Structure 1
Amino acid sequence: MMANWIETLTGPLGQKKQYKQYRARIEALPEPYGTVAKAVQRYLMYYGGATDGETLLTMMGDSVDLWERAAEDGTAVRAIVGEDPVEFAETFAQAYSGKQWIDRERARLTKAIDDAAREDRNDG
């Protein structure tokens, strides 16, 4: 009962634990992979705009897996991100089609225009 109440306020505790585990894995990466993984994660948090924790955790987990494999194989950072790290991060984020904050705003915009158009027809 208490866990349900807390999760209602703060979100699922399992997701928070998983997030912390991913953060610890990023912190454990050797350089330069750790620095790059942190920078990409930060960008994904802003650009990705995922509103549901499950999508965000999946994206983050896949990102951590990528950097761990790259470090293990000794793959050069530029071989992964290419010459445009922004394009890499945005393309990576597009693979995760969960709900995004912009979806809510798109729906609001459409509704506002539809409502205004209905009022315009009723007045005219």
Structure 2
Amino acid sequence: MSDAEKGGFISKVIGPKRQWRQYKARMKQLPEDYRTTVEAIERYLMYFVPTDGDSNASMFDDLGDLFERAAADGTSIREIVGEDPVEFAEAFVQNYSEGGYVPARERKRLTDAITRAAGEDTGKEDKAV
């Protein structure tokens, strides 16, 4: 894939680079648990590739707005995403695209990441690598 093709693909997936960088800078300002949650949701949503980058840019901006407001208001992560983060993410993305295929492994990964960010036990012990 040429650099031009890669740039087009990146724009299709995440939207204009400048807007993406601004969004990521905003998310770095969030408290750690909110930032971890947003990063987990981002990773999950990357499987949903809308037809144009503008949809994704809008989707991520809205996700950022939601978590910035929640952090400012002291809203808990569970109050935002509920007990099923997969359900939250899939409902959220439906406002922006037709969605895509998400393997069960990624659904579990999202759920586990949110559980850890919310300060809940995942039933696994962390092991140093």
TM-score above 0.5: yes
Q: Pick the structure with greater CA Rg.
A: 1
Letter in 2 for 1:57: A
Does residue 1:10 correspond to 2:3, yes or no? no
Q: Secondary structure at the match of 2:69?
A: helix
For 2:88 and 2:54, how far apart are their aligned partners in 1? 22
Is the Cα contact below 8 Å between 2:49 and 2:97 reproduced in 1?
no
For 1:35 and 1:86, how far apart are their aligned partners in 2? 15
Return the offset for 1:31: 2.2
* TM-score, scaled to structure 1: 0.67
Instruction: Give the structure 2 partner of residue 36 of structure 1.
Output: 37
Instruction: Give the structure 2 partner of residue 64 of structure 1.
Output: 64
Higher helix fraction (1 or 2): 1
Question: 5+ unaligned residues in a row in structure 1: which ranges?
Answer: 1-5, 103-124
Distance 1:74 1:10, change over 3 A: same
* TM-score, scaled to structure 2: 0.64
Deviations 1:38-75 (A, max 9, x none): 111111111x2213110010000000000000000000
Instruction: Give the structure 2 partner of residue 122 of structure 1.
Output: none
Instruction: Give the structure 1 partner of residue 123 of structure 2.
Output: none
Return the offset for 1:15: 1.1
Instruction: Give the structure 1 partner of residue 27 of structure 2.
Output: 26
Q: CA RMSD in A?
A: 2.3
Is the Cα contact below 8 Å between 1:27 and 1:34 reproduced in 2?
yes
Q: Secondary structure at the match of 1:51?
A: coil
User: Matches of residues 99-118 of structure 1 in structure 2 within 5 Å?
Assistant: none
Return the offset for 1:101: 7.1
Letter in 2 for 1:55: S
Distance 1:9 1:89, change over 3 A: closer
Return the offset for 1:97: 3.4
Instruction: Give the structure 2 partner of residue 73 of structure 1.
Output: 73
User: Matches of residues 74-93 of structure 1 in structure 2 within 5 Å?
Assistant: 74-93=74-93
Distance 1:17 1:87, change over 3 A: same
